[in-house]
Amino acid sequence: MLDTDVASRSFKGRLPDTLATRLVGRQPLLTFVTVGELTQWTKLRNWGPRNRLVLDQWLADKPVIPGAESIAVIWGELSAAATQRGRPRPVNDTWVAACCLAYGLPLATMNVKDFADFAEHNGLTLIAN
């Protein structure tokens, strides 16, 4: 699974070599959250139709994990547990972690600190540079 930062850099062709090497031969997957965040960025940055088309073409062959009741339950459990530990996590990061954990998928991210709590307490596997 690609975190939004990895998806964005991959789309732009700016993924660090060390991380790119670790992803060779793996099918890139996205969460509904990443698609939403990428779409938000295109709107906030006033992308024109040509740039948006390039992104849509890049997204076209990437399977997207949709929201589902099972993911929502995991999100609730993760969010509650993190809050009870005194480490509430950002909402979107929690959704991404929930998608990964629901399907037993590792997360490729450059923001390890954002997901370290999920790795330590919930078994989220991270692929980082």
pLDDT in tens, 22-73: 999 999 999 999 999 999 999 999 999 999 999 999 999 999 999 999 999 9
Query: How far apart are alpha carbons 108 and 88 in whole angstroms?
Result: 21
What pLDDT shows up at residue 129? 81
Tell me the residue range of the domain where 23 lies. Answer: 4-127
The CATH number covering residue 36 comes to 3.40.50.1010
- Please tell me the pTM assigned to this model: 0.94
Q: What percent of the chain has pLDDT over 70?
A: 100
